[in-house]
Amino acid sequence: MMPPEEESPDGSGEGDRDSDLVLLRALKCGSARKQGCDPFAQTQRSKLQHRRARINQQINKEMRMRAGAENLFRATSNHKVKETVALELSYVNSNLQLLKEELEELNSSVDVYQNDSESISVPMIPLGLKETKELDLLIPLKDLISEHYGEEGILFEKEIKEFMELRQAMRTPSRNEAGLELLMEYYNQLYFLDSRFFPPTKSLGVFFHWLVQLSPSQLGHPRCLMYELGCQLFSSSSASGETFVVQKSDLPAYKPGGYQELLPLAGAFNYLKENFSNAPSLDMSAASLNMLVRLMVAQVQECVFEKMTLLRAQHDFLARLQLAQEAARVEDVYSLVHQTMTQAHVKDYVPFSWTTMVHVKSEHFKALSHYFAAIALCDCPAASDDELPEQEKAFIQFHVTMPEGPSLPILLQDPEERRKLGKAHLKKAIMKHEEAMRIHGLCKILRKMDILQEVLSFAHKRSLSKYSEIDHEEDFFETGDAPDIHPKTHQKPEIKSPNFSQVKVTDLFHRLGPLSVFSAKNKWYPARRVHLMRGENGFGFTLRGDSPVLIAGVIPGGCAAEAGLKEGDYIISVNGKDCKWSKHAEVVQLLKSTGEEGVEISVITLQGSEGSKTADKKAAAMSSGSGMLKSNKENSRKSLMNSKSASTLLVWSKKSKRSKKSTYSVPFTAVGDNEAMY
């Protein structure tokens, strides 16, 4: 993940943050936030999410009661107490089972995502939001600001509360673009929070409580911020998929090309799988994420098929063959999803209704592939001599194995031979429709889905009607077994990685200073106040860089050297004016404007050898007097950023991977264009 762009506090993003803060405070006062957060919405989908949250809370309560009862059962030796506790445990376990069944039914609910349109389609599988508990960061962050940054923690209460309000708002996002932007805004803010307040060698003592998706009896609560990052990306992905399902069901408003919005969702789950390791919860494991990636890709492929059914010509032979192959492709990817869901590490986690739904879709689309093959053969006119070469070429690649019978030219030009093969395809389509309906009937939850029952019944009756239409009483031949159709798609979905830069954010804690220096991984000595009087040769030091300005060199015996300034110090204030974000020219102007009374500056020095390295590197990077040196530094910086985004920021254990870096020594006499002696 590339870090969000760090901006000066005087940047143009200040007004946007203030407006968001006003909206968040309005939410706290009782009025819903309009920009992406609507906790009081009474839509069917929001009610569903609220019911999920309520059931999750009840399950957690029952789990705590069961744990206490089990401890008491093991600890007591009183026979009557054991009997009473055993009875209570039986009651609690019954409640837990009922609550889990109710939650599974909610997780499989698709009716609320359907509209009243006459058009029907196979329902998609939406992911609900990943639930999290409230988090109080006020005291931990205030303590760390006082301890690490040397600032009064109470002065940053506004920023801390704004972040906490943002986290609270992202728990109830609206199901639209504004809600997705809200989730991504919080995700990007977590980058700044990690850089500011989570040192690599010290724990902040904050637990991030997230319920395991689809398995609320488990609760992940590690102290690592990377878990919060991963869960937030998971939640953003789930909301994105839920939003897509809402848009797709809103026919005819749904645009056939809208499935492109689902590709970043698959990319987000794939990004989690590849970059987050050793997940502390089952839903974030590699096996579960791999299942979700394949599920999203399959649903995208299903949308491609639906797009073709809307756009293709109704009576074109080649178009019907393409529809059959697209349906076979959908069946192929759903079969892969079903295999993944039935693996040992996944089958106990995925709801049975999901596994059944995927299996039903696999059989349903296989039936559709044979149905459209039959329609192409029976409803489209026989090939003319001019059309024959093109149709032969398409038909050779249509079946997995060539059908038995006459040669291909005869098959394509003889209506009777076309009818025979079409009848075989319809026979297989009816068998697969019936198999899909049989599997559908095995799941109590799916039997309650009227929309799914309607889709399966309609497709089955359509195939039966077509079979009756082409079946002749004088047919004495035995209908053969139609070969399977070769799966092929004309628009293969490509998984896209999430675009983190799509939502611009500004560090809420920018007043602490630029992250290049003022971060959790850096340590510095307490700020020193130095009073300087201008001598014959000025103040006796060289400045370089911006935000903050660096003392690149000190003249031996000069005013700066006598006052205790050292090469590598950072100027953080001049005459009481904060200069952490000041540009080079601004600090120079402040120094030049001093009178005979001199100037008072505050400086900090980074601790240890890392401090001198950072100072030298910053000086080397900002030096324009040595082109080769600057080029090397820029390349090193890009490499470090890529390494950080791919490893350090994206592991649950948050291991520090520091590479050995070269130290560049800039001679004091090498004064570049961006530095000057004072």
Q: Which residue in 57, 156, 144, 50 sits closest to 106, CA to CA?
A: 50
Say how many C-beta atoms besides its own lie within 10 A of residue 330's C-beta.
Answer: 29
Using one digit for the tens of pLDDT, what is the confidence trace for 50-87? 676 677 777 778 888 888 888 888 888 888 888 888 88
State which amino acid sits at residue 431: M
Rounded Cα distance, 188 and 167, in Å = 12
Using one digit for the tens of pLDDT, what is the confidence trace for 318-368? 889 999 999 999 999 999 999 999 988 888 778 888 899 999 999 999 999
pLDDT bin (cut points 50, 70, 90) of residue 636 is very low
Rounded Cα distance, 101 and 377, in Å = 46
Contact 4, 13 (CB under 8 A): no
Using one digit for the tens of pLDDT, what is the confidence trace for 100-159? 777 766 665 555 444 444 445 677 777 767 777 788 889 989 999 998 888 888 999 999
Non-local (6+) Cβ contacts of 110 within 8 A are 123, 124, 125, 126, 245, 449, 451, 452
Non-local (6+) Cβ contacts of 114 within 8 A are 123, 249, 451
pLDDT at 403 over 80: yes
- What pLDDT does residue 677 have? 56
Continuous segment of H or E residues that includes residue 600: strand 599-604
Q: Burial code of 427-442, b = ≥16 C-beta within 10 A, e = fewer?
A: bbbbebbbbbbebbee
Q: In whole angstroms, how far apart are CA 311 and each of 257, 308, 327?
A: 11, 5, 15
pLDDT at 34 over 50: no
Compute the average pLDDT of residues 287-314. 83
pLDDT at 431 over 70: yes
Rounded Cα distance, 419 and 472, in Å = 10
Mean pLDDT of the chain: 75
State which amino acid sits at residue 365: F
Rounded Cα distance, 505 and 521, in Å = 22
pLDDT at 463 over 80: yes
Residue 242 token pair: 């839920």
Q: Which residue in 405, 422, 288 sits closest to 346, CA to CA?
A: 288
Rounded Cα distance, 585 and 571, in Å = 13
Contact 555, 561 (CB under 8 A): yes
Contact 59, 99 (CB under 8 A): yes
- What pLDDT does residue 114 have? 46
Residue for token digits 């530095």? 675
394 burial via Cβ count (<10 Å: 0-12, 13-18, 19+): middle
Q: In whole angstroms, how far apart are CA 326 and each of 287, 302, 321, 330, 381?
A: 27, 9, 9, 6, 22
Non-local (6+) Cβ contacts of 29 within 8 A are none
